[in-house]
């Protein structure tokens, strides 16, 4: 009788184990299977930007704004993962010297059981340069001709030079600041608030949003007088 009791008890334990394994398999494989999904538009963030700023350096190029991921994980985990809670970071720490740096994209997910199958961006090339300053002369270009019977005097500007600050490699290319004023068909004094452009020695326009200028517009006066 005692023997039958223990035999039945062992049988119940085996049955419970089988049921537990079955339930685990059902939940893990049937109810929460491994699957894949694609997440688009994950923002790429540059970390430790202050490290290069503290060393008087500047970042010449911005990284790709977003990236896409193909990930694999349980259905429940993937349901919790989106482009709002996946972080993609490019870390400037340890890359704060002038030159080009190839930096891997570091990914963080809200759950631990997610793996990356494919990603559109795995590393980013960033170029760092020294900040520099210089002063360049200002040239006033008068365009057009005054009205018939009138003549223009030499243009007068409120300043004669421009102080600029920016990446050293870019500033080396800049030799001149230029502003234009249009006097076409003018029969009276022309007063203009002219935009300043930066040019190379061979008059190529230099456009760089990282460059700071002491002035971006200047007052230009061209006096128009009747011919005698």
pLDDT in tens, 159-173: 999 999 999 999 999
CA dist 220 and 136 (Å) reads: 18
Q: Which residue has the higher pLDDT, 38 or 210?
A: 38
CA 144 to chain CA centroid, Å, is 41
pLDDT in tens, 136-154: 999 999 999 999 999 999 9
Q: Which residue has the higher pLDDT, 26 or 211?
A: 211
- Domain 34-121 classified CATH 2.170.120.30? yes
CA dist 101 and 104 (Å) reads: 10
Q: Which residues pair with 88 in a beta bridge?
A: 44, 107
CA dist 188 and 222 (Å) reads: 9
pLDDT of 216 higher than 90 = yes
pLDDT of 21 higher than 70 = no
What does the mean pLDDT of the chain come to? 86
Q: Which residues pair with 179 in a beta bridge?
A: 140, 196
Q: Which residue has the higher pLDDT, 149 or 63?
A: 149
pLDDT of 5 higher than 50 = no
Question: Among residues 120, 104, 118, which one has the least CA distance to residue 67?
Answer: 120
pLDDT of 175 higher than 90 = yes
Tokens of 223: 């006096």
Please give the average per-residue pLDDT across 98-119, as a whole number. 92
The full set of domain ranges for the chain reads 34-121, 131-226
CA dist 79 and 32 (Å) reads: 11
Confidence (pLDDT) at 208: 85
CA dist 44 and 64 (Å) reads: 7
CB-based contacts of 182, cutoff 8 Å, min separation 6: 143, 144, 190, 192
The fraction of the chain above a pLDDT of 70, given in percent, is: 86
Query: What number of other Cβ atoms are within 10 A of residue 90's Cβ?
Result: 22
Cite the beta strand spans of the chain per DSSP E: 34-47, 57-59, 66-74, 87-91, 99-104, 106-108, 115-119, 123-143, 150-152, 156-157, 161-167, 176-182, 190-199, 212-213, 217-222, 224-226
147 DSSP assignment: P
CA dist 165 and 135 (Å) reads: 9
Point out the least confidently predicted range of 65-69, 136-140, 175-179. Answer: 65-69
CA dist 92 and 47 (Å) reads: 6
Q: Which residue has the higher pLDDT, 8 or 141?
A: 141
pLDDT of 119 higher than 80 = yes
Q: Which residue has the higher pLDDT, 168 or 19?
A: 168
> With bands split at pLDDT 50, 70 and 90, how would you rate the model's confidence at 206?
very high
Two domains, one topology: 34-121 and 131-226: yes
Query: Which pTM does this prediction carry?
Result: 0.64
Architecture of domain 131-226: Beta Complex (2.170)
Please give the average per-residue pLDDT across 168-180, as a whole number. 94
Tokens of 6: 């223990």
């Amino acid at each position: 009788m005692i023997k039958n009791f223990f035999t039945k008890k062992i049988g119940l334990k085996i049955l419970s184990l089988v049921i537990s394994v079955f339930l685990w398999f059902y939940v893990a494989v049937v109810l929460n299977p491994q699957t894949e999904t694609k997440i688009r538009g994950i923002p790429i963030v540059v970390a430790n930007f202050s490290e290069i700023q503290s060393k008087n350096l500047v970042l010449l190029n911005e990284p790709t704004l977003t990236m896409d991921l193909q990930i694999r994980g349980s259905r429940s985990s993937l349901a919790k993962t989106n482009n709002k809670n996946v972080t993609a970071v490019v870390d400037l720490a340890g890359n704060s010297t002038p030159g080009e740096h190839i930096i891997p994209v570091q990914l963080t997910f809200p759950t631990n059981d997610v793996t990356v199958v494919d990603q559109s961006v795995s590393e980013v090339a960033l170029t760092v340069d020294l900040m520099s300053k210089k002063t360049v002369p200002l040239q006033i270009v008068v365009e057009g001709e005054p009205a018939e019977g009138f003549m223009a005097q030499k243009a007068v500007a409120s300043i004669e030079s421009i102080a600029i600050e920016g990446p050293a490699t870019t500033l080396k290319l800049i030799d001149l600041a230029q502003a234009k004023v249009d006097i076409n068909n003018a029969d009276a004094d022309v007063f203009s608030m002219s935009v300043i452009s930066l040019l190379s020695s061979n008059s190529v326009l230099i456009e760089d949003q990282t460059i700071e200028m002491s002035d971006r517009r200047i007052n230009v006066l061209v006096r128009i007088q009747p011919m005698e």
